Structure formats: C-alpha cells, structure tokens
Amino acid sequence: MDAISVIRTKRDRGALSPEQIDWVIDAYTRGEVADEQMSALAMAILLNGMDRTEIARWTAAMIASGERMDFSSLSRPTADKHSTGGVGDKITLPLAPLVAACGAAVPQLSGRGLGHTGGTLDKLESIPGWRALLSNEEMLRVLDTTGAVICAAGDGLAPADKKLYALRDVTGTVEAIPLIASSIMSKKIAEGTGSLVLDVKVGSGAFMKNIEDARELASTMVGLGTDHGVRTVALLTDMSTPLGLTAGNALEVRESVEVLAGGGPADVVELTLALAREMLDAAGVRDADPAKALADGSAMDVWRRMIAAQGGDPDAALPVARERHVITAPASGVLTRLDAYQVGVAAWRLGAGRARKEDPVQAGAGVELHAKPGDEVTAGAPLMTLHTDTPEKFDYALRSLEGSFGIAAPGAAHEATPVVLERIA
C-alpha cells in the first residue's frame, strides 16, 4: 500500500477498498502517511463522497485505532446524545441529569467550542472547581454513583479521529459529510454506549445550512450506528435562531440551572424533553416521565451530585463579565428574525469562543437576548446585552450583528419554526 495510490483512487471517483481504508487510517495514525497526503485524500472525499460500505469501514478503522470503553458493569442501560453544534445549545447540561433521574445512565463525552459554536466543556468549566479531564476509572465511578457524567474524551479513544479532525479544521474539509459522520460515530461507538440520540442542527447557526444536507448526515450516522449494533435515532432541529436567551459559557450554565429548577425558555425545555424521551425510549426505559423529573426536582438533585463528583461547587456564584453593552430596538413592532450565526459570531468575538483550539475563553462573555422572533418589542427597549471582560471587543462584535434581526409592524403575523423538524430512525 502507498498513500498516492489511495489518493488517486478517490480522486478518480473510485471506491476505496477495505484494505486501502484500514491501511491509510493506521498509517496516518502512526505518522507514516504525511499530513499533506491525508489532506489531499480528505479533499477528494469532500468532492467525490463515499458510499455506505466505505463510510462504515472508515468508521470501523477509526474505532480500531484506539481503545473501546465498556459499561456492562453498570446496573442500568446507557444512553448518550450528540449535537452537531449550534448557538446557545446548552441542552446537554440539563439533559444528562434529567435522563439519569429517569433511570438511564448517561456517559456524555463532550468537546470544546470552535468558532461560532459553543462547547459543552467550556460552559461547565465556568463552574468553580469543575474538572473535564477524568480517567476511565473516574468516569465509570461518577457514572455509577450519580447516573450521569459529562467529560472530555481520553487520548486513547479513536486517536485517528483526533488527528484527522485537527487536519480537517485547517484544510477546508470540515464539511465533508462522510468525514463528519465517521468522526462523530467512531467516538460514540468506541465510547461503548448502548443507544444514541443525535441532534442534527439545521439553519444559519449550524454546519448543515439546509435540511437536505442535514437529512443526509443524519441518515448516514443512523446507518453507521445500526451497522455497529448501537440503537441510533436522529432528530433534525432548528438552528436558524439561537436556542434559549443566552449564548456564552456562564450565561448558558445559569439558564440550564433555570431549566432544571422548572423554568427556563420554552424552546430549551421543549428540546430537552424531546431528546430525553428519545434517549429513554432507545435505552428501553419507558415508564418514566421526564417532565415530572424536571418539575419535582429530581433532575436538579442529579445535577448537583454530578457537578460535585467532578470537583465543582453547584452553589458557587458563576463568573460575570466586567463590561456590558445594551443594544436597543430601533422601532416598535414584532421581532420576525434573529440570525443564529450572527449572534454566535458576536459571542465568539466577545470572548466566549475561540478561533484556534489553543485559545482561552472568557467564562462571563457572551450575548444575552431579551426577545425572540414572535415577541413584541418597543423602540428604545433592550433587545440584546453584550457581555465581555474586554470592552475593546464591543465594536468588533457589533459589526457582526449588523442586519442580524428584523422588526415588522406592530401586530404583524409571525409563523414560528418548530424546534424539532424531523425524526430519522
């Protein structure tokens, strides 16, 4: 085998053989295939695609590059969730303890934000003392004692994906659906969960801008999960407007705690419950009501135990940014549009996100929304509040918000977009 012949096969629209796939993934992980060669192959895959057999074998080779976790010692079934990323997407935070409170175990391996999409670990690290890095033994212990754990993936889990993901990020090949699907599913299958629910975002604030691409990605991932014996379901959900009323790390933690306390924005509660019901059904837990677990405080109890088990203080005050800037409504009327991507870029520019994986983030930075599409607004009233420790960033963030919203005449009709658009199983 040699890298050039593998590249030429895909460049010329051929199907890679199982032997070619196994060899190139293993050789790249070991450093025998150079970054520039794998970059060329990734671009060929982006342009020419892969069939289901190729994607399944590519995913299997990624899994085989590292270890596989085993949760068979747990007394309850496991269910996990993965989101393809969005703006204000704090759903994992209330969802994991909620599903655990209903009887399933949730081994949630999460990541950090990059660009305009937020990262679950960045959000949780705004809680004083909380640790993302756990050994496999620590992860199993937290999962066994609390029912849920949210942590970073260890270095031994699908190392080929970690290396390839970093390469795709700097070579313009992130959007390749076969590589997105195999990246997500190799980690989730290697993680060892018994069932998986995928939240595939659609809209301006998501990687998938249109429903056709989102449907293709979701179907590909559901197929991969099925092929590897993991019961997998996908929901296509709207990301044209930010989820909830906050985009930023500590801001989103605060909103998540509101949901666990029985309040919070309606769209966040709706999606949390929809995903919880899918996870419980996939895990075979069908006699629990997640809405009741939110209302009676049992989900909040699991949250507090989970945070404390990872070194965090659930009672500690969350960080608050030193500076604020209020954007007011220029006219009275009905807010008809609020672009998720532009709000996400503003939060990123304020310090809530990063351009490179090495960049630090500000815990208190972000955007707070005072209205969502369909709400009546009054001229001069607050529409958004920008938060940052570095006020020189305000102008940069404000430029990204130009044209980000629309206001129609008072009383104008507004048709709301559903939170859940489709289900694929």
Which tens digits make up the pLDDT trace of 167-197? Answer: 987 888 988 999 999 999 999 999 999 999 9
Which listed residue (168, 201, 277, 393) is catalytic?
168
73 an active-site residue?
no
187 an active-site residue?
yes
- pLDDT-based confidence at 366, cuts 50/70/90? very high
219 an active-site residue?
no
Average pLDDT over residues 291-295: 97
Task: Name the least confident of 157-161, 274-278, 314-318.
Answer: 157-161
**Three-class SS state of 338:** strand
The percent of residues above 90 in pLDDT, for the chain, comes to: 88
- Helix 249-260 to helix 92-101 angle (10° resolution) is 30
Which listed residue (83, 110, 182, 183) is catalytic?
183
Say how far apart CA 402 and CA 424 lie, in whole Å: 36
Say how far apart CA 194 and CA 107 lie, in whole Å: 10
Which listed residue (57, 81, 82, 387) is catalytic?
82
Say how far apart CA 120 and CA 253 lie, in whole Å: 10
Buried b (16+ CB within 10 A) or exposed e, 26-65: bbbbeeebeeebbbbbbbbbbebbbeeebbbbbbbbbbbb
Buried b (16+ CB within 10 A) or exposed e, 321-331: bebebebebee
Whole-number pLDDT of residue 326: 98
Say how far apart CA 151 and CA 132 lie, in whole Å: 5
161 an active-site residue?
yes
User: What are the structural domains of the chain?
Assistant: 3-49 (1.20.970.10), 80-154+168-309 (3.40.1030.10), 323-408 (3.90.1170.30)
Average pLDDT over residues 326-333: 98
Name residues whose C-beta falls within 8 Å of residue 172's C-beta, 6 or more positions apart in sequence: 43, 46
Is 153's pLDDT higher than 90? Answer: no
- Enter the pTM of the model: 0.93
List, for residues 398-419, the tens digit of each pLDDT value: 999 999 999 999 999 999 999 9
Say how far apart CA 63 and CA 26 lie, in whole Å: 11
Which listed residue (161, 238, 267, 339) is catalytic?
161
Name residues whose C-beta falls within 8 Å of residue 250's C-beta, 6 or more positions apart in sequence: 123, 126, 318, 319, 320, 363, 364, 366
Q: At residue 350, what is the residue type?
A: L
Is 361's pLDDT higher than 80? Answer: yes
Task: Name the least confident of 73-77, 267-271, 384-388.
Answer: 73-77
Say how far apart CA 345 and CA 340 lie, in whole Å: 9
183 an active-site residue?
yes
Whole-number pLDDT of residue 117: 85
Say how far apart CA 129 and CA 78 lie, in whole Å: 27
CA distances, 308 to each of 100, 102, 128, 398 (Å): 15, 20, 10, 37
Which listed residue (90, 187, 201, 277) is catalytic?
187
Whole-number pLDDT of residue 155: 81
Asked if 329 and 126 count as a contact pair (C-beta separation under 8 A), the reply is: no
Please, what sign has the CA dihedral across residues 391, 396, 398, 401? Answer: negative
Whole-number pLDDT of residue 148: 98
- pLDDT-based confidence at 91, cuts 50/70/90? very high
Q: At residue 121, what is the residue type?
A: L
